[in-house]
Structures are given as C-alpha cells and as structure tokens.
Structure 1
Amino acid sequence: MRQYAERMNLYAAANDEFFSVERNRTLPIVSTITSVPNYPSKLSIFLTNASRYWQVRCYFDGKVIKRTLRTTSKRDALRYAKEFYNAKLCVAPSQQHAAHTRTHSIEAVATLMLATEQARVDRDEVAKHSLVMLKSRIRKQVLPFFKNICVEDIGYAQVERFFNHLSTLNYKPMTLSQYMMALRKILNTAHAHKWIEQVPQFPKIRITSTARGNFTVNEYLQLLRCAKRMRNAKQKRRKVTHRNTQGGVFASYANVVHEMAWVIGFMVNSFVRPVDIKLIQHKHVTIVKGEHCYLRLTLPETKRHKAQIVTLPAAVHIYEHLRDYFAKQGLANEDDFLFLPKLKDRQSAIFLLEKMFKRILEETDLRFGTQGQRRTLYSLRHSAITFRLLYGQGIDLLTLARNARTSLEMVDKFYASELRAEMNVGMLHSRR
C-alpha cells in the first residue's frame, strides 16, 4: 500500500510539471488575433511573444502560410495583409492546376491592381471617386468580357475585340478611352509581375474635346434677372411627398432660394468651381480694400489645387450683401457656409444648387450652348475665364490660369476654344 501511494505521488508530480509547460513563443497571442475586414475569415493578423512585429496567416492550397509584416502598426498590418492575400491569390494557383500551367485570371490580377490603387488613395495620391469609377468600369465590362481568358492569352486581337464590343454600346470616345485605360492598368500590373512579356498594343481613340458652353454678357444678365424673379414668385401650395422633396429641405416646385442670384454672380466674378461653392466658408474669405478692391479666397484643396484666388471687384459687393443677409439669421459666423448654410450635408447642398440652376436655364431657354453643349453650374466658371480673355486689358494667361487654379493647357484647350478673332479685332488692329 505504501509503495502504491508513493507511485501515485510521483505521477501527480510529473503530471503537474507536464501541464505547467510554457506556451511556445511563436504561437499567436489569442487576444491579438484579428480577421481582416471584407476578406475571407481564413485571413488574419496576430502578435506573438517572439517578435514585436505583426504576423499574417492564411490557408492556401491545403496548408497554412505565415509571414511577418514587419510593422508594429495594426492599421498598416491590416493593409499589408490585404496585399499579401491578393498576391497569393495570383501566384498560388491550386496544386492540381499548377502542375499543368501558371496562368492568371483577369479577376485575380484586377484585384491586385485595385489593392495598389487603394493604397494610392490612402496616400492621397488619387481621388477616392476615381477609384470608385475604376472599380465600376472593371466590374461592368472588363471582367464579364475576359472572364474565360487568362491574362497571358490577351493580345492585340483580344483587346481589339473588346474595343469593338464597347463601340457597339454607343459609348462616347471619352468613355471608351476610360474603359481601355482600366484594361491597360490590369495588363500593366501583370507585366510588372512578369506574368506577361509585354503589354499588347491598344487601338487609337480619337477624342474630340468639347468645352462646356459659356454665357455671353447678355445671357449672364438674363440669368441674374430670372433668379431674382423666380425667388420672389408666388408659390403654389402643393402636397409635399417623398417624390418632390429632397432630404426634407427642397420641393421640386418650391421657389429658387434667395441666394441663387448671388451664387451666379459670385461664380462669374471669382473663377471658382462648383465644388468650391460647396465648401467655401466665411473663414476662407478676406476683404481687401485699397488701390484694388477684391476678395482673397483661401479655399480648401480641390482637384489638386490649393492656391489663393483673387476675385473681381463685383464679388466684394455680392459677398457683403450675402453676409449681411445671413448675419440677421445668425448664419454668418466663421464656420458657416456662404451658400445654403442651414444645410450641413454639403453634397446635398451642391445637388440642390445645380437643380435650381437647371430650372433657371430652362426658364430662360439657355440650357444648351451654341454648339449644343449641355450647360451646367460649371458653365459659370467657364464664363468667368472667357470674360477675362475677352475684356481683360493685356491679360497674362499664366496669371489667369494660376488665379483660376488651372493650367495654361486647360485654358487654351477648353476655355479659349470658343474665342474667335473678331471678338478681339481691336487688339488685332492695334499698333505700338
């Protein structure tokens, strides 16, 4: 009996010692295991006691693959994990398939390319809207057309067939060019990873740029008078429903807002874009009165431009009237917006201004330009630059382009495209 008790004590000691062994330092710390959002649950990141860097693991082709991400930032680790997964998706085909070929699907390469574009968006190198449009084009036309063709098999013949297919859909040349650019980005990614020897030649697309229709001085005055008349018109009472109300703030039959005439005048005298109208606040505006009277606009960066804008003198009077009008309502503080200040959703604000301007254009029968261009709120900026080219004495194009936050090429290609020699016949006949 004594010998039996001694043996039991011995086993108990051995058992305690066995279960008190420390975990391997390379095993994941359970509390740090994190799945990557919008990716399969088999993809996750984690920390271990063996390294200060985040690790990634994923199940591929019957085995778990682990890699160090060489970063201590969890945010960066999640981004690197996505790139790791996208790369593996392309270069690690199933074992059975790999025994016969090393081809890559258009979808896999597109996923890898879009991950790279997303990283550029994160670095503010590309606008988020551009990535959204790129994804839309790839999903709508590129993937369905090439779904049964590997990138290694895409040559000029396949590219030309895709171009001819798009041509049958009555797309405009600019839209065709954007679809072909999406395909080129995918093939460039395949070439960068050495999955194809070279990017095939693409068909040439002739793009004829049509400038937005600008307004003449008389048409500009018509717009101002119409905006003032429509804001004071007697409004008919109708039942407000979801069909004629936008966000509860605007009915399709309601009067044009009071500041619409100021929007028109301000844009023509300040060179700003509609996106600037959406974002401009009182803190961005400085009144300068001296030898020259103007507004100095220090606007947020839009379209990769962040230079200051100097307005024409008329913009000062417009701004002062607008400021006094909203000051009576307590809406002229530094952080208040100049136009539709009650509406905090600025995307809805610009949408409503565009809709109201469209009603004014239809009321004045100025919806279309001389060449059939569809006029929009952007046409007011076009008019502002065109008026300076026409009526500015010895205007310097570089100064005009810089002040309008654009380039000389854009001024010549779009804004000056409708100027005719007869408009400046006096300058042509002048002598030194």
Structure 2
Amino acid sequence: MPAKHVIMGGKVHLYKRTRSKYWQCSTFLQGKNFRVSTKKTSFAEAKDIAEDWYLTLRGKSRAGELVTEKTFAEAAEQFWREYPVITQGDRNEIYVEMHRRRLDKYLIPYFGKMGLSQITPGVVQEYRIWRRENSLRGGPPARSTMHQEIVVLRQVLKTALRHGWLTHLPDLSMPYKSAGKITHRAWFSPEEYKQLYTATRRRVKARQGTRHLGSAQQLHDFVLFMANTGLRPDEARHLEHRDIQIVQDLDSDEIILEIEVRGKRGVGFCKSTTGAVKPYQRIVKRNNPKPTDLVFPQKNLYRDMFNNILKEEGLKHDRDGQQRTTYSLRHTYICLRLMEGADIYQIAKNCRTSVEMIEKYYAAHIKNTLDASAINVKRKRKLSKNVDIEEVT
C-alpha cells in the first residue's frame, strides 16, 4: 500500500512522515495549508478522522470562523520567550511570575484560540464581564487585578504588532469609566503615631527579663527609624550598617543619618531627621554588628508583632477602612514633613519618588499649603464715572 492517498475528491491528502507510524492529513483552505496528525496507525481509522476533520474545517470556513492568522496563544508564547529575557534584572521576579500566571490562568484560556484580529474592544469588554461573572473566589476581581490583566493583554498584542502579525492595537480602555476616586494612602496622624510608639515602648518595658526583650526593642527602634527616614520596607530590608553614617548636617546644624539606599529605584540617598539617630545608635549598641550585617535582619520586618500592636491599639485601619502596614510609616514620614512646611520637591528627592506621586497620594499637607489670604481675596468695586459727551469729543 503506498504511503500517500488522496481522498474527498482530491481535497484531502493522507500521508506518513519519515520515522512516524501515524497517518497525517492536510488540506488547502482560504489560501492556507492546514495539517494535523490523525494519531492513528490504521489507514481506515485515519481516513475516517481525516474526513471528519476536513468537514469541520470547511464548516468553519463557510461560517467565517476559520482562523488563518496567528492566534493569541502563539503571540503569548512569543511574548513569554522575550519578556523574562529582556526584563532580567529590571523587573522583580515575583512581578514577572505573576504575568505568567495571568496568562496561563485567564488570558490564554479565554483568548488563546482567537486570531489576533478578532480581539476587538468589544471582545475585551466581554472578557471583563466574563471575569466578573466567573471569579474563582466568589467576588468580582479588584480594579487593580483587572488592570494588571489588561496590561499583560496589551503587552502580548504589542509583541504581535512588532512581529507584523497585527496591523494596529485595539482600544483597550475601560468604557463607561468614571473619574477615579481620590484616596490617600494609609498613614498615622501625629496623635496616632505618638500612640503607636508609646505602645511599642510600653511593650519593651513589659518584656524586661524575658527572652522576647530583644525583639520588642528592635520593633520599637524599627518604628522610630522608619518614621524618621521615610524608607520603603524593601529598602530597609536590604540596608546594611556600612550604608549609614552619623553626621552633623551643615545646612541644619543637626546630627542626622546619611543613608545610601538600595531598593526598587536602584541606588539613592536619604537624609533622616534627628529622631532616627538614637534608635539607630541603640541598634548598634545592642547588636554590635559588622559593617556588612543587615540593620534589620528579620525577613518580614516584625510584621506579626507590628500587626498585633496595631490591632491592640485599634490602629489597623484608618478612617477610610484602609489597612495600615509597615509601609504606612513611610507615608507618615512624608505627611508629617509636609505638614511641618517642608519643600515638596526636596521631600520627593529624599524619598526617591516624584512630586506628582506625592501630590496624588499624600494630601495631608494640602490644608497647610493653602493660603487663605489668597483664597478669600476681595476685589474692590470700581465706581462708574459719568462722562460728558462734550469732553469726549
């Protein structure tokens, strides 16, 4: 029996590849060759499968459902070949892995078989509806979750655009979207901050003579250090003693800490307030560290103890219901400095962020920067003067 056969009036070819025991079938539709393995060694069984396969393809062709272009799954595969390599060292590994999960769990199952040109704004909107109606946890996904999924979708489509598989990017913006609600990041007001460090100091006294004394002392100094430097938790996690110097600042004539910071923005610099000096000196005296030792060696930066104190003091949530974390100590530093009248540009540089970010998320200083004399100004009313026509002429 020959290794090649023609069936369905010459429209389907059955053949065997070299070194393969299975029959393959192929056809030509809409200007493109389609091939598939029948996974059968028997010619009779392969012939039946090939006929069914061809009839299915022809039905999809007549219904306009036959994809003759690159699919989303193929573009996603190409995107993932590029993304981890190109972003190596620039993106957090966890962030990269979350992109992979979003692709595998949601985007590929929904868009995978679609041709790239079939992904229109309407299809993307249907995806948003599908995600809200089919959430695995019972409730709809958060806005930030949906935003990140659309970010990955856009990046896959941009990959297709770069390779010439797509002529243009569809509009992926959210229709009917109202202006986002203005929210402020959770922080501690001056009264709440005093309540917090008073509670941590009280815990130190309560742990005297126990094996938990060292942890309580570290937590107390950690709270004071973070609220007087404005470091991010990840920056504090990587901080070594050789990165810190106790100096007398020439501009303010005060004893402060000069810190070389390593974190999400790379290497930066920070000048603390005087309130960070004594906590740091206590840490050094207590631990007698080497220059390369971490200032805060605990992996989770006292997260459990910190949360317990917040719950005990009723400080876990702010008035808007937002949860406070160790990150809130950075927000507290920024807000307190601005409330004291510090220059917003200098604060932005010292915290390794932008003025725009501070204006958007830290609004505690706004009432202090509003000038009532400029707001409540009253313009003097000018009285009209009667002019004699003879004088004008």
Compute the TM-score of the two structures, normalised by the length of structure 2. 0.71
Contact 1:294–1:313 (CA<8 Å) still a contact in 2?
A: yes
1:401 is aligned to 348
The residue number in structure 2 matching 1:371 is: 320
What secondary structure sits across from 1:126 in the alignment? Answer: coil
Q: Distance in 2 between matches of 1:175 and 1:286?
A: 41
> Who is 1:113 aligned against?
79
Instruction: Provide the residue aligned with 1:165 in structure 2.
Output: 130
**Distance in structure 2 (CA, Å) of the matches to 1:165 and 1:260:** 45
1:298 pairs with one of 260, 263, 269: 260
- The 8 Å contact of residues 216 and 383 in structure 1, kept in 2 or not, is answered as yes
Shift of 1:202: 1.7
AA matched with 2:146: L
In the comparison of the two structures, how many residue pairs are matched?
A: 307
Cα distance, 1:203 vs. partner? 3.5
Cα distance change on mapping 1:208 and 1:127 into 2, 3 Å: farther
Check conservation: 1:262, 1:322, Cα contact below 8 A. yes
Contact 1:298 1:308 in 2 (8 A): yes
Q: Is 1:271–1:404's contact at 8 Å kept on the other side of the alignment?
A: yes
Q: Which amino acid aligns with 1:259?
A: Q
In the TM superposition, residue 150 of structure 1 has moved relative to its aligned partner by 2.7
8 Å CA contact retained: 2:68, 2:115: no
Following superposition, the deviation at residue 399 of structure 1 comes to: 1.1
Deviations 1:310-342 (A, max 9, x none): 110111122112211112xxxx110111124xx
Any idea what SS the aligned residue of 2:268 has?
coil
The answer for unaligned runs of 5 or more in structure 2 is: 1-15, 19-31, 37-56, 58-65, 375-393
1:215 and 1:230 mapped to 2: Cα distance?
A: 19
Whether the 8 Å contact between 2:229 and 2:273 is mirrored in structure 1 is yes
AA aligned to 2:355 is L
1:244-296 deviation per Cα after TM superposition (whole angstroms, max 9, x unaligned): xxxxx99xxx9953210111100111110111121111100011025232111
TM-score (norm: length of structure 1) = 0.65
Contact 1:358/1:367, CA 8 A, preserved across alignment: yes
Separation in 1, partners of 2:17, 2:90: 38
CA distance in structure 2 between the aligned counterparts of 1:213 and 1:255, rounded to whole angstroms: 28
Contact in 2 for aligned 1:160/1:203 (Cα 8 Å):
no
The equivalent residue for 2:290 is 333
Given that 2:246 and 2:256 are in contact with CA atoms closer than 8 Å, whether structure 1 keeps it comes out as yes
The residue type equivalent to 1:297 in the other structure is I
Unpaired runs of 5+ residues, structure 1, are 1-60, 64-92, 238-248, 341-348
- Structure 2 match to 1:272: 231
User: Corresponding residue for 1:189?
Assistant: 159
Contact (CA 8 Å) 1:163, 1:180: kept in 2 or not?
no
Q: Does 1:145 align with 2:110?
A: yes
Aligned to 1:288: 247
- Deviations along 1:143-172, one digit per CA (max 9) or x if unpaired, are 121233232322222111002222334122
**Aligned-partner Cα distance in 2 for 1:371–1:157:** 35
Aligned-pair Cα RMSD in Å: 3.0
What is the CA-CA distance between 1:119 and the residue it aligns to?
Answer: 1.8
Matches within 5 A, 1:319-398: 319-327=280-288, 332-340=289-297, 349-392=298-341, 395-398=342-345
After superposition, the Cα gap between the structure-2 partners of 1:223 and 1:350, relative to the gap in structure 1 and judged at 3 Å, is farther
1:304 & 1:234 partners in 2: Cα distance? 38
The residue identity in structure 2 corresponding to 1:166 is: R
CA distance in 1, matches of 2:327, 2:267: 19
After TM superposition, give the deviation of residue 428 of structure 1 in Å: 4.2
Would the aligned equivalents of 1:187 and 1:199 in 2 still touch at CA under 8 Å? yes
Whether contact under 8 Å (1:305, 1:405) holds in the other structure is no
Amino acid at match of 2:167: E
| One-letter amino acid of the counterpart of residue 272, structure 1 | L
Whether 2:361 is the aligned partner of 1:414: answer yes
Distance 1:258 1:150, change over 3 A: same
Measured against aligned partners, the alpha-carbon deviations of 1:67-88 in whole angstroms (never above 9, x if no partner) come to xxxxxxxxxxxxxxxxxxxxxx
Do residues 312 (structure 1) and 279 (structure 2) align? no
Which segment is superposed worse, 209-218 or 175-184? 209-218
